[in-house]
Amino acid sequence: MRKVLIPTKLDKVVEKILSEHGFTVVQNPDVQLADLASENSDASAIIVRSEKVTPEIMDGLKDLKLVVRAGAGFDNIDIRHARKLGIDVMNTPGANSNAVAEEVIALILAAYRKLVPADQSTRAGKWEKKSFMGRELTGKTVGILGLGNIGRLLIKRLSGFDVKILAYDPILSADLAAHLGAQLCTVEEVFAQSDIVSLHIPENDKTRGMVNAKLLGLMKKGAMLVNCARAGIVDEEAIRAAKQEKDLIFCNDVYPKDAAGDKSVADIADIMLPHLGASTKEANFLAAKRAADQTVAYFEDGVTACVVNKGVPDGLDANYQKLASVLAGLGAAYLNGRAISKIELSCYGKLHQFSKWMIAPVTAAICPPFDAFSGADEALKYLESRGIQFIVREVDESKHYGEAITLDFIAGSDRISIRGTIAEGRLMVSRINSFDGIYIHPAGNYLFVEYEDAPGIIGKITGLLGQNNINIADVRAPHSLENSRSILAVNAESAVPADLVKEIAAAVNAINAFTFDC
């Protein structure tokens, strides 16, 4: 009989479903997970909400096969250590989305109408009606960063208020955004034009500290920022300054650690809640039911659809997944932010049988919120939800490319095609569009400049780099006979600033110029 540990207060439906299928359920929200685990070393599964599942806990449970996060985010679980031990980690995406979307509405209305201080004043026997003049949500412009499950539900919940919705999502097409009821914009446009900005993006290396002084400086005077996503995506000091300069309204429900104690945002938050986003009876029930159903399906039928840390199949060198990710990142960089509508993948040689294992790394590269440890089915659904078609092509082995990967990206009328392989154990980009034989090892800081071939171009580019104290480690400059163009790939010893890229592009009348760090 399999044992499931539940160190959190989940709806009783979780125990009911598991028990009906023969599981032994040990549920105790008053005991720390580490203690619960030490007392039940024969556990096969753990279901958690925000409790941390550490390597030490997993190491102590020799029969552990599955960890389920009853919710979407799973940064409280060490998924890489779990994979090393052969433990699958699942989440229950979408279970809490509506609860968070409704909480955002509640925060906006409470802040605009000053409900919290008005309640406190009235309870104290005062009658300070004139002090609590509020504002109306109707007619405002609301900016949403991230149109995943929560962002899309927020659009629906806001529809009755006759607001204008601006949105930023790194891979969502403009047509799909419009279908959802939002106008797709840059991050800067969202912050500059919105009366309210609500954050619904994950915290990772690319988003940490993303909401900084520059973005907050673009906001209107008296604008509102709502953070029900992750604490680390905002710069608290920048918010502190914006409060003074722009009379910013700040509503917050997330913290570096979910625990009692002083909170660093206490002096700047107009409303602060103890991470209540998913704390509704309905969300609790849905998360509990999904966690139980997925656990049963996993052990009884081998269903792994929601596993977020799938490993590498036997026979596949994981470096080829890394290659697919690098090629995808380079393709996205070449397109300079243009929305991708279609991706075509060709895997040659023995790689063809592993084509589906390349889909998640490609998806994660073009859309950082998606986790590369997810499976192909989840990746395809994710891309489809953002209006992107993904095709695995049959290949012509008569071309004798060996073990190689080709990725084509279509964005409007533009197409970028990139091929790569692994040579002598090193990742290698062998072709970009019609530029064959580029042969660059994607590591470090790269500047790419495509231009109409003419004498002196390479000298101008390298000269400008030298004038700005940027040393060059390597240069490749293949020429295309197909269109009389060349592309210069410069491996620089330091990052090339955006302003310098623009200067170089103007100096050589570049067709395209961009950087790619890998």
DSSP 302-314: ---TTBS-----T
* Contact in structure between 57 and 82 (CB atoms under 8 Å): no
CATH 3.30.1330.90 fits 310-433, yes or no: yes
List the structure tokens of 263. 């909170």
Contacts of 480 (CB under 8 A, 6+ apart): 433, 434, 435, 486, 487
Residue found by looking up tokens 């062998």 in the block:
430
* H/E stretch holding 250: strand 249-252
- Name the DSSP class of 77: B
Domain ranges, ordered by start, for the chain: 3-94+282-301, 97-272, 310-433, 444-518
Exposure of 425 by Cβ count < 10 A (0-12 exposed, 13-18 middle, 19+ buried)?
exposed
Chain CA centroid to CA 345, Å: 22
Alpha carbons within 13 A on the beta-carbon side of 83: 13
Residue whose tokens read 């959190």: 8
Q: What is the pLDDT of residue 343?
A: 97
End-to-end CA distance of the chain: 48
Q: With CA atoms as reference, report the closest residue to 142 among 175, 170, 101, 182.
A: 182
> How far is Cα 48 from Cα 56, in angstroms, rounded to an integer?
16
Rounded CA separation 157/101 (Å): 7
On the question of a common fold for 97-272 and 444-518, the answer reads: no
Tell whether the model's pLDDT for residue 50 goes beyond 90: no
Q: What is the pLDDT of residue 309?
A: 82
Largest CA distance in the chain: 86
- Please determine, for residue 460, whether its predicted confidence score (pLDDT) is greater than 90: yes
CB 1: neighbour CB atoms within 10 A?
A: 7
DSSP letter at 113 equals T
Quote the mean pLDDT of the chain: 93
pLDDT in tens, 59-109: 999 999 999 999 888 889 998 899 889 899 999 988 999 999 999 999 999
Q: What's the pLDDT at 99?
A: 96
Residues 6+ apart with CB under 8 A from 433: 416, 417, 418, 480, 487
At 79 the pLDDT is 87
CATH superfamily of this structure's domain 97-272? NAD(P)-binding Rossmann-like Domain (3.40.50.720)
Angle value at C-alpha 223, between 218 and 224, nearest 5 degrees? 115
The model's pLDDT over 119-161, given as tens digits with 9 standing for 90+, comes to 999 999 999 999 999 999 999 999 999 998 999 999 999 999 9
- CATH class of this structure's domain 3-94+282-301: alpha beta
| Predicted pLDDT of residue 305 | 81
Alpha helices in 143-280, H assignment, sequence order: 149-158, 174-180, 187-193, 213-218, 236-246
Residues whose CB is less than 8 angstroms from the CB of residue 269 and which lie 6 or more positions away in sequence, other chains included = 250, 251, 252, 263
Domain 444-518: top CATH class: alpha beta
Question: pTM for the whole thing?
Answer: 0.68
pLDDT in tens, 447-458: 999 999 999 999
pLDDT, tens digit (0-9, with 9 covering 90-100), for 465-498: 999 999 999 999 999 988 899 999 999 999 999 9
